[in-house]
A and B are shown apart, each in its own frame.
Chain A
Amino acid sequence: MSRNLVALIRRHHEQGAPTALEVLKIALEDHGEITDDDRRLASERSGLPEAAVHGVSTFYDDLLAPRGRRHVRVCTGTACFAATAGDHVTALSEGLGCALGARSDDGEVSLAETVCLGFCHSSPAVRDGETIDAGAGVVERVLAGTTSAAAEPTPLSVLDLPVLLAPAHDWIGLRYAVSTRGPESLLEEIKAAEVRGRGGAGFPAGAKWEFARRAEGERKFIVANGDEGDPGSYIDKLLMEDHPSLLLEGMALAGYAVGADHGFVLTRSEYPHSKPELELAATTARAAGILGPAVLGSRFSFDVTILEGAGSYVVGEETALLACIEGLRGTVSSRPPFPAQRGLYGMPTVVNNVETLCNIPMIARDGAQAYRELSPASATSGTKLVCFNERFRRPGVYEVCFGTTMGELCLELAGGLVDGHEIKALQIGGPLGGLLPGWKLDTPFDFEALATEGCMLGHGSIVAFDETTDMRALAVHLLHFGAAESCGKCFPCRIGLRRAHEMFLGTTPVRRDCLEALLETLELGSLCAHGGGMPAPIRSLLAHFPEELGLT
């Protein structure tokens, strides 16, 4: 990330100026496209040079898709693929008379691809204007103009006293922290609790906090990563929309422990309700004296800003996330420097996943010991939210214990698949996770056990493919996503994912030796986990379903 650009926009930010991305998004909402005048205005208001604004306006999906008077966004996430093999996209495009990514000649309607709307429990999903409809008959309803907001299943915790899905939220952890315990003591408690990051990498949260606490900086920031881009995952969506104050408490606790007085949440534009729900919760908390200049009457000051992204998977990577919050292109930066040393606007910054931060209030309230004991069958502390796709009989978000087997989760909790279908394979933890074949459901749901099978816990989404899934089509689906979402910074990912996708397109046999050499280049050469991780499910397909891939 350019230090000069950050210095330029930081001065504007400190004066309360919007970011270039915010100005561009407002222009788009206002008149459906972005003009050079909009770019000049964004440059003037944000302090970002015109060329850099142009770069931003060509990076994010939302800013690129042409908009008709009626803008339809069709979900092409992995759960929607598992449900229809992509048929809903074709049907919608033909029915609307509009190609994917295009606007009709008369400007009446436009159809854009979106990944993913987080309605994986009721795939396929379509956003028609502001309404997200999903499930059987959705294409017909869009074509008839009779869409209505899809319902969401009730989440369920396996615990008697849910940690992440508690029906009522108190602020006891924060109250106790700011009134009677010091920041160092809270930090020690979080370290003792051994909280591993829930966003995918599993890095210890306490260690991250400690780096930021010890770092030099005139200000420090807490950033909640709400850019839950994994197709198939709608866990953070639930937390941000139904438990927003739990997240705000986790952020305030992080701020107290680290010495930060401000936090940012980056939500996704694919989840239109997240930002308003968080803003409402923040307003309520400010009115109650919980957020603001004297948190719960203490000398600790903490407030939050809620920002929304504009369509980019890689923005979920922490350095790209910070760039997006600053209104820049959401590309990855090499580390060091780590965000804890030089993060948002050059200041020491803690970046934690939304769910990770939602674990913090319970630890602050009940202590590290109680937290470590939540998953008796596992060495991993705490509980985890998982979510299931529409292929299951009882899809939804569940709070579960680490160490439960995949079979218990999929067959008992989620009830197995609908209509007597069989689990051919599961993709766990997002698009960078390997595939677990249906005959390995005895694998425990835990960091190390899944890694042994070439899979990962990731963020906890569980997408089932049934026996009708064509595994070569799945490879095309995954690699299309991988190539489309590459930020374009590092060469192996920028070119390699495109080439991998091209290899599987059509019916030409795929040379296995060439494919494996390409996968190795991606795995070892890529700058971030996107290029490094996209080969994992392809490796699984090679290991478990080679006969379906058309290899030579």
Chain B
Amino acid sequence: MTLTIDIDGTETEVAPGTTVLEAVRAIGGYVPTLCFDERLDAFGACRVCMVGIEGLTVPVAACTTLCRDGMRVDTRDETALRVAAATVELVLSELPGPPAQHTELAVVANALGVDGGELRWPGEQHEHVHDERHPYLALQHELCISCGRCVRACDEVQGAFALTATGRGFGSNIAAGLDEGFRESACVSCGACADTCPTDAITELTLLALDSEEASGAL
């Protein structure tokens, strides 16, 4: 049995259990995401993948909404895009500066037309805390947007359970082990966390960078 759904005027057939986001991507469509990684279970945290559904008065998160037969999805729904853009604007307001251009966050902000110029809701930013105790993995806590991708990659891809979300509300962040850094934790240095991070909060220190830092006496 398959379900027939309509995405922006294009009819497509999907298997039961398919999410709206999977269906959109399967036909080559685009819905921005921040907490989604196709290697991991959908999480539903970032609320950036909002889409309109005919018959519903409010937009829904595409990553956690299952397709229903006859569903009509509008990825250009004005309200959905307005909420998604506002959410990304909130994310930019918690960071110390504009995201590096190569990051997923920068790509999504560009796609939603959020330039990070004048923010409607400026306010407190995250404390600048760098953890470079591990030889290959660096943590910049002020860049963490609590998308949970690193924690889930460590859990679902590697099974190391070395990472956790910490705190709550605006104070949420991440930690390795008992906040003792990657090296003392159950981390196996697989790099899955750095690979999935959408903001450079976790990065792999390249040998080149290490060389240059050593040369300049920074290490």
- A interface residues with partner B (beta carbon < 8 Å): 2-5, 36, 39-40, 49-55, 58-59, 312, 329, 331, 333-336, 483-492, 494-499, 502-503, 511, 514, 517-518, 520-521, 524-527
Contacts and interface: CB of A to CB of B under 8 A. Distances in A.
B165 A55 contact: yes
B123 A488 contact: no
27 contacts: A2-B156, A3-B41, A4-B156, A50-B185, A50-B186, A53-B178, A54-B175, A54-B177, A58-B175, A59-B168, A488-B146, A490-B44, A492-B90, A494-B146, A494-B172, A495-B90, A495-B94, A496-B121, A497-B169, A497-B170, A502-B121, A502-B124, A517-B120, A521-B86, A525-B47, A525-B83, A525-B86
Contacts of A485: 169
B79 A524 contact: yes
Nearest to B89: A521
Interface centre among B90, B145, B176 (most CB of A within 10 A): B90
A333 B41 CA distance: 12
A334 B61 contact: yes
Nearest first, the 7 closest Cβ-Cβ pairs linking A and B are A334-B44, A488-B172, A55-B164, A49-B161, A486-B169, A499-B121, A51-B164
Q: Which of B45, B66, B84, B124 has the most CB of A within 10 A?
A: B45
A55 B64 CA distance: 24
Interface of A, secondary structure class, is helix
Contacts of A335: 64
Nearest to B152: A2
A319 to B, nearest CB: 11
Given A4-B155, A54-B164, A503-B121, A487 B177 contact: no
B90 A521 contact: yes
Given A485-B169, A488-B167, A51 B161 contact: yes
Interface string B191-206: 0000000000000000
A489 B45 contact: yes
A58 B42 CA distance: 24
A498 B58 contact: no
Contacts of B163: 51
Contact of B64 (A4, A40, A334, A492): A334
B146 A492 contact: no
A52 B164 contact: yes
B159 A4 contact: yes
A40 B185 CA distance: 12
Interface string B31-67: 0001000000111111110100000001101001010
A54 B181 CA distance: 12
Interface in B74-102: 79, 82-84, 86-87, 90-91, 93-94
B179 interface: yes
B171 interface: yes
A495 B185 contact: no
B166 interface: yes
Given A491-B47, A517-B120, A525-B83, 6 more contacts: A49-B161, A497-B170, A499-B93, A502-B121, A518-B86, A524-B59
Contacts of B170: 483, 486, 488, 494-495, 497-498
Contacts of A2: 152, 155-156
Nearest to A493: B169
B23 interface: no
Contacts of B43: 334
A491 B90 contact: yes
B124 A488 contact: no
Contacts of B162: 49, 51
Contacts of A49: 161-162, 186
Nearest to B44: A334
A524 B43 CA distance: 17
A333 B44 CA distance: 8
A527 B155 CA distance: 22
Nearest to B60: A524
Nearest to B64: A334
A489 B152 CA distance: 13
Contact of A499 (B58, B66, B123, B156): B123
Interface in B140-164: 145-146, 148, 152, 155-156, 159, 161-164
B30 to A, nearest CB: 19
Contacts of A58: 166-168, 175
Contact of B58 (A53, A490, A524): A524
B120 A514 contact: yes
Contacts of A494: 146, 169-170, 172
A498 B167 CA distance: 14
Contacts of B161: 4-5, 49, 51-52
Contact of B45 (A329, A484, A490, A518): A490
Contacts of B165: 55, 329, 331, 488
A490 B186 CA distance: 27
Nearest to B179: A54
B187 to A, nearest CB: 9
Contacts of A312: 168
Contacts of B178: 36, 39-40, 50-51, 53-54
Nearest to A314: B168
B167 A59 contact: yes
Given A54-B164, A54-B166, A334-B43, A518 B121 contact: yes
Contacts of B83: 492, 520-521, 524-525
A403 to B, nearest CB: 27
Q: Among B34, B43, B124, B169, find the residue whose CB has the most chain A CB atoms closer than 10 A.
A: B169
Contacts of B87: 491-492, 496, 521, 525
B47 A492 contact: yes
B120 A518 contact: yes
The residue among B121, B152, B171, B176 with the most chain A CB atoms within 10 A of its own CB is B121
Contacts of A486: 168-170
Contacts of B179: 54
A502 B46 CA distance: 21
A401 to B, nearest CB: 32
